[in-house]
Structure 1
Amino acid sequence: MAATELEHEVTLWMANDIPVRMFYAGQRWRVTDVPTRLRESVWSASAGSPRGLYGWRFQATNPEGDSYVFDVYRTQDDWHVHRAYT
């Protein structure tokens, strides 16, 4: 599994405070597994990671059937993709 570091905005739709869909990199994505909440300790574990944030890790699939694992985090105003794993 290769990791790509990214810092791009994403539109994230939630159901019961859990990610279910997103719009990212010009594509629609559907969350296709059970998302895992990422706490601050996860973000602070890697150098250069944002501090004091929370986020999610989940697999999402686009309409073409391509699936990736995404680490997303919430800032004060927006959601961002921190890493995408292929």
Structure 2
Amino acid sequence: MKATPIEHDLTLWVEGDVPTRMFYAGRRWTVTDTPTRLRDSIWSVQAGHRGGLYGWRFQATDDAGDSLVFDVYPDADGWHVHHTYA
């Protein structure tokens, strides 16, 4: 798998604090697997962030049937995509 950093606006919908769907890169996405919560340890290594940061990794599929795996995290400005994996 190849990680691809991308900057786009992200709107994330959650149910019970778990991602269910999103709007990202001009497309609507539906979460199509069980999201995995990412803890501090992965972010401190991958993103250079210090403690307290969490995020999610999940597969999502758009209306055309294309699927990607996303690593997303929240900050003061809202949710962001850290990486996508094809």
Structure 2 CA distance for aligned equivalents of residues 22 and 76 of structure 1:
18
Alpha-carbon shift at residue 49 of structure 1 (Å): 3.5
Is the Cα–Cα contact under 8 Å of residues 14 and 21 in structure 1 kept in the other structure?
A: yes
Unpaired segments ≥5 residues, structure 2 = none
Backbone CA RMSD of aligned residues: 1.3
Percent of aligned pairs with the same amino acid: 64
Structure 1 CA distance for aligned equivalents of residues 80 and 43 of structure 2:
13
For the pair 1:49 / 2:38, whether they are aligned, the reply is no
- Listed one character per residue, the Cα deviations across residues 18-76 of structure 1 (whole Å, up to 9, x for unaligned) are 00000000000000000000111110122x43333211000000000000000000002
Say which SS state the counterpart of residue 45 (structure 1) adopts. Answer: helix
- The residue number in structure 2 matching 1:6 is 6
Structure 2 CA distance for aligned equivalents of residues 58 and 49 of structure 1:
21
Structure 1 CA distance for aligned equivalents of residues 8 and 73 of structure 2:
10
The change in CA–CA distance for 1:64 and 1:10 in structure 2 (over 3 A counts) is same
- The residue number in structure 1 matching 2:58 is 58
- The residue number in structure 1 matching 2:27 is 27
Unpaired segments ≥5 residues, structure 1 = none
TM-score by length of 2: 0.90
- Stretches (4+) displaced over 4 A: none
Say which SS state the counterpart of residue 42 (structure 2) adopts. Answer: helix
TM-score by length of 1: 0.90
Give the paired residue count.
85
